[in-house]
Structure 1
Amino acid sequence: MVGVSTAERAGGAGQRGGGADRTPKQDRSRATRQRLLEAAVACLAEHGWAGSTVAVVAMRAGVSRGAAQHHFPTREDLFTAAVEYVAEERSQALRALFPQGPRGAGADRRAVVAALVDLYTGPLFRAALHLWVAASDEEQLRPRVTELEARVGRETHRIAVELLGADESRPGVRETVQGLLDMARGLGLANLLTDDGQRRERVVAQWAALLEETLA
């Protein structure tokens, strides 16, 4: 009887404050998911695919392995979601750098080029690179990474076109923008082994000048 009475009291409290009780639980779940995604990217960037297990990520995120698998049933789910999450965060951060939109950004294309290059010189790119290498050997991972890379690539291209104020209906403009992104990826690869900052600044300045000429 005591148990029933306690349950009834708990139930009544839940009914009175059900919305308030559910919201913190949802917030905690979102926070746990975000910690897992950020930890997965950090582990992948630091340890590569072979050294990044669900258990290692869970420990770094400060959650149990069971909690990690509740959010991401498989290792592939976790790491593809992690790279996609941070890619979206970086895209939003890039847009936030130029809140004035295409017209204002287009007036300073060198800043846009530098910001785009920065997308490929941080832990996200390093993590993504490890994921690409793993996907070349892991059959179950390859389709997910291929689809993810295509989506991230399309979104980055759209952002670049918007911020540069580029008119892709003009001949050669689309190829020039894509060439910029390919160049940025190459600079990111060069930066993996050594700090290539000085040469990168010169290349950014040259590409900005080329874009001014092509997009004018």
Structure 2
Amino acid sequence: MTTAPTRTPQGERTRAMRARLLEAAVECLVERGFSGTSTTLVSERAGVSRGAQLHHFPTKNDLVLAAVEHLTEVRGAELRAAAARLPSGPRRTRAVLTMLEDHFTSPVFTAALELWVAARTDPALQAAVGPLEQRVGRDAHRLTVTALGADESQPGVRELVQATLDLVRGLGLATTISDDARRRRRILDQWARTLDAALDPGRHAEKEGTT
């Protein structure tokens, strides 16, 4: 007796195909940049027929805008997962900076960077990228506040957290030109000490006394 093969529901197949297209779009953005990404290249990489790709994403901008939304979800999920793995104890601040460093030097960030640059001269893309980046920024800020145990009701703390994100993002941008990991490590080591001294002076003094 033979068993008839189980058919995957159409809706599930469609979701899987769209996911492959979006993942392929992100990979192309990382490897080839925005200008080198085409709908034909994405459909080939995703293993999806050209007709099926055009049905869901008729133009390159349609595809890229959907990829922007997808990137937003991926970046948020990656940061939340990394935050859940942070250690406790005296090295936590440095671990938070390492978490942010990994995020801002990841392929996902590189793909987002390509979209930022392209959006500068593309009003439709800018209209989509801007609000999503603001959402990513707010989420990253809240997560960093929680991870650091920072009290934003204290004067200057909110600005210090934002400076942390700006610093690590800037180091990530620099990495796209040349990866000077040693220099980046020294800067983040010093910034961790700065954060500890500002956010918890008593604990920082105690740590310094034991070194």
Normalization by structure 2: what TM-score?
Answer: 0.83
Q: Give, in whole Å, the separation in 1 of the partners of 2:175 and 2:44.
A: 29
Q: Give, in whole Å, the separation in 2 of the partners of 1:141 and 1:171.
A: 37
Q: Is 2:83–2:99's contact at 8 Å kept on the other side of the alignment?
A: no
Deviates more, 1:84-93 or 1:138-147: 84-93
Q: Give, in whole Å, the separation in 2 of the partners of 1:98 and 1:138.
A: 34
Structure 2 stretches of 5 or more lacking a match? 1-5, 201-211
Deviation at 1:107, TM superposition (A): 6.1
Partner in structure 1 of residue 209 of structure 2: none
Deviation at 1:105, TM superposition (A): 7.8
The question of 1:110 aligning with 2:88 is answered: no
Deviation at 1:81, TM superposition (A): 2.6
The question of 1:92 aligning with 2:77 is answered: yes
Q: Give, in whole Å, the separation in 2 of the partners of 1:196 and 1:206.
A: 16
Q: Is 1:45–1:126's contact at 8 Å kept on the other side of the alignment?
A: yes
Tell me which structure has the larger Cα radius of gyration.
1
Q: Is 1:83–1:127's contact at 8 Å kept on the other side of the alignment?
A: no
Deviation at 1:178, TM superposition (A): 0.7
Identity across the alignment (%):
52
Normalization by structure 1: what TM-score?
Answer: 0.81
Q: Is 2:71–2:112's contact at 8 Å kept on the other side of the alignment?
A: no
Q: Give, in whole Å, the separation in 2 of the partners of 1:51 and 1:147.
A: 25
Amino acid at match of 1:37: L
Deviation at 1:112, TM superposition (A): 0.9
Deviation at 1:56, TM superposition (A): 1.2
The question of 1:185 aligning with 2:169 is answered: yes
**Alpha-carbon spacing, 1:66–1:159, altered in 2? closer, same or farther (3 Å):** farther
Partner in structure 1 of residue 196 of structure 2: 212
Q: Number of paired residues? A: 195
Deviates more, 1:146-155 or 1:81-90: 81-90
Q: Give, in whole Å, the separation in 1 of the partners of 2:39 and 2:61.
A: 10
Q: 1:111-126 maps to which residues of 2 (within 5 A)?
A: 111-126=95-110
Q: 1:3-14 maps to which residues of 2 (within 5 A)?
A: none
Amino acid at match of 1:139: P
Deviates more, 1:23-32 or 1:206-215: 23-32
The question of 1:74 aligning with 2:40 is answered: no
**Alpha-carbon spacing, 1:87–1:199, altered in 2? closer, same or farther (3 Å):** farther
Q: Give, in whole Å, the separation in 2 of the partners of 1:209 and 1:87.
A: 31
Q: Deviations over 1:4-52 (max 9, x none)?
A: xxxxxxxxxxxxxxxx85x633322222121111111111122112111
Aligned CA-pair RMSD: 2.2
Q: 1:1-216 maps to which residues of 2 (within 5 A)?
A: 24-99=9-84, 104=88, 108-216=92-200
**Alpha-carbon spacing, 1:69–1:207, altered in 2? closer, same or farther (3 Å):** farther
Amino acid at match of 2:44: M
Amino acid at match of 2:155: P
Deviation at 1:144, TM superposition (A): 0.9
Q: Is 1:105–1:112's contact at 8 Å kept on the other side of the alignment?
A: no
